[in-house]
Amino acid sequence: MERTILGLAAAFAVSVVLFAILSRPADPLPDLDAATTHPDGEWFQKEVMDSEIPVIVDFGATWCGPCRILAPMVDRFEEEYEGQIKVVRIDTDEKPDLTAALGVGPIPAVFVVKNGEPVASKVGIQDFRRYEDFEAFVKPHLN
């Protein structure tokens, strides 16, 4: 009887954890218009909003361990899909005002922008355990 109760308790705990993971809200898309009124707005407009190909906007910092884990995935994707994707890296320490204007909080934060519109976003690396996870996140947004 005691084993049955422990088994049921363990199954319940697992189901609660799975529910918490699966029901996690999607990462919000940024308001890119806020960046165009920023002092770096002209640069952001040209590099991201007016790009003819989709853009990965990668927010990070040199001191950020998870950012250093994500960086090789972004580099590999950029290399494998050269000409189909552009990568713009924004160091949150070097451009704190632009980072704030875009509403970026925790890093790493990755946005995919296509035709001047954000189409996908992720904060953190929990969803990118392998390169293939990152590729599956970005690839559907290629032209």
Contact of 95 with 59, CB cutoff 8 Å: no
Catalytic residue among 55, 67, 70, 73: 67
Question: Which helix or strand (DSSP H or E) is residue 95 part of?
Answer: none
Strand order in the sheet with 55-60: 86-91, 55-60, 109-114, 117-123
Catalytic residue among 48, 56, 57, 64: 64
Is residue 64 part of the annotated active site? The answer reads yes
Instruction: Note the residue count of the chain.
Output: 143
Question: Which helix or strand (DSSP H or E) is residue 91 part of?
Answer: strand 86-91
- Per the structure block, which two tokens stand in for 52? 């003819």
Is residue 56 part of the annotated active site? The answer reads no
Helix, coil or strand: residue 108: coil
Contact of 64 with 123, CB cutoff 8 Å: no
- List, by residue number, the catalytic residues: 64, 67
